[in-house]
Amino acid sequence: MSKKIVVLGAGTAGTIVSNNLRRHLPADWEITVIDRDDEHIYQPGLLFVPFGIQKSNTLVKSRKKYISPGVNFVMDEITSIDPEKRTVKTKNHTFTYDFLVISTGCRIAPEENDGLMEAWGKNAFTFYVKEAADQLRLRLKEFDGGKLVMNIAELPFKCPVAPIEFVFMADWFLKSKGIRNKSEIELVTPLPMAFTKPKAAAVFTESAREKNIKITTSFELNRVDGKEKYIESVQGDKVKYDTLVIVPSTIGDPVISNSGMDDGIGYVPTHHNTLKALKHDGVYVIGDATNVPTSKAGSVAHYEADVVVFNIMAEIYGAKPEEIFDGHSTCFIVYSKGTSSLIDFSYKIEPLPGKFPLPKLGPFSLLKETKMNWYGKLAFEPLYWNVLLAGKHLGMPPTLVMAGKEVG
């Protein structure tokens, strides 16, 4: 009997789940993780690049360095998946599996937005990929006033708090340059509010009001006009800009669609609580590749990894997978260089005020802008590299989600 697990993608989700599986399974289980390159990018750090707080080259490290001994790392391009035959083909190899973990992530697709490529790098920018974040840094460095618009093209997109963080950071940055009074900042979103969760949205909206940041909601992007410098909605509304920062349309990896496993936009239909693929046996989905209704964020991948490992091992030992994933997400929201907020929520539980991770003790505050939260955000990057990718647990229990009430 073969004993093979194949993991597609060595980003945050794929690396954590591969390392955790290796720690828990005996040596006769062969674990292979496949990715097209050896560059692991710490994506939360990209937010800081446009403001000169972080250099983009410090965010890239070797994938191999963080993949545990005993895991076979294959650098190759995945070309197709056959869930019926339980095979994965790459340009140079064919792999068979007993269990497949899909962690192929998602990517921005600016070519999907009408008119955006004509403005790309001229007056339209993003910080969601490394090279573009560097371009935006140069743009903001020479920015001397005018209208700065942060737009979300459509849902879903990676890290739902990042655009909010960007406009808050832009407020701080322009104040530090002494040109805030010469500048307008506007967040334009397809959501009916500032964030997906009403209680947190209300807090963010009030913070934006205090910072004189305009929020325009329910704006479904139709096209970008880089020549006249405006974005237009499907309904015909227009928002003018001098500099556009955009989260373009976001799609799953093309191999998912090409293999007939997607939901129409490249994500795998996934059971919300077991994280099994809905249509294919022996397949689990983790991280940004899923279509579960929670954030596409690193913390979610971390929490999901425990569930995927638990359920794969349950199946190996003859038990049914358990419905134990609750959509848990924990996100820092940076307000300025020196202050941050924090939210913790799930499918059913709203972000709540209180202390995290220990009720009453913290040390971090929820739904509150503090210096301590900023230090937590800074500390998380070395923790990410040294703890998360080693496949070990951070020891941050989902206290708030389990309690379902305000704590602390």
Apex CA 286: angle with CA 187 and CA 128, to 5°?
A: 30
Above 90 in pLDDT, residue 347? yes
Above 80 in pLDDT, residue 248? yes
How far is it, in rounded angstroms, from Cα 310 to Cα 179? 53
How far is it, in rounded angstroms, from Cα 305 to Cα 147? 41
Mean pLDDT over residues 12-27, rounded? Answer: 94
Quick one: pLDDT at residue 402?
Answer: 29
Mean pLDDT over residues 247-264, rounded? Answer: 96
Q: How would you list the strands of the sheet with 183-188, edge to edge?
A: 124-125, 243-247, 146-152, 183-188, 213-216
Q: What is the dihedral of CA 57, 63, 65, 70, to 10 degrees?
A: 180
Q: pLDDT band at residue 380, thresholds of 50, 70 and 90?
A: confident
Above 60 in pLDDT, residue 406? no
Above 60 in pLDDT, residue 393? no
Quick one: pLDDT at residue 361?
Answer: 87
pLDDT 10s digits, 267-324 = 999 999 999 999 999 999 999 999 999 999 999 999 999 999 999 999 999 999 999 9
pLDDT 10s digits, 55-105 = 999 999 999 999 999 999 999 999 999 999 999 999 999 999 999 999 999
Quick one: pLDDT at residue 155?
Answer: 95
Quick one: pLDDT at residue 389?
Answer: 58
Mean pLDDT over residues 162-180, rounded? Answer: 98
Amino acid symbol at 403: A
Quick one: pLDDT at residue 116?
Answer: 98
How far is it, in rounded angstroms, from Cα 99 to Cα 361? 41
> b vs e for 138-158, b when ≥16 Cβ sit within 10 Å of the residue's Cβ?
ebbeebeeebbbbbbbeebbb
Above 70 in pLDDT, residue 109? yes
Q: pLDDT band at residue 216, thresholds of 50, 70 and 90?
A: very high
Above 70 in pLDDT, residue 221? yes
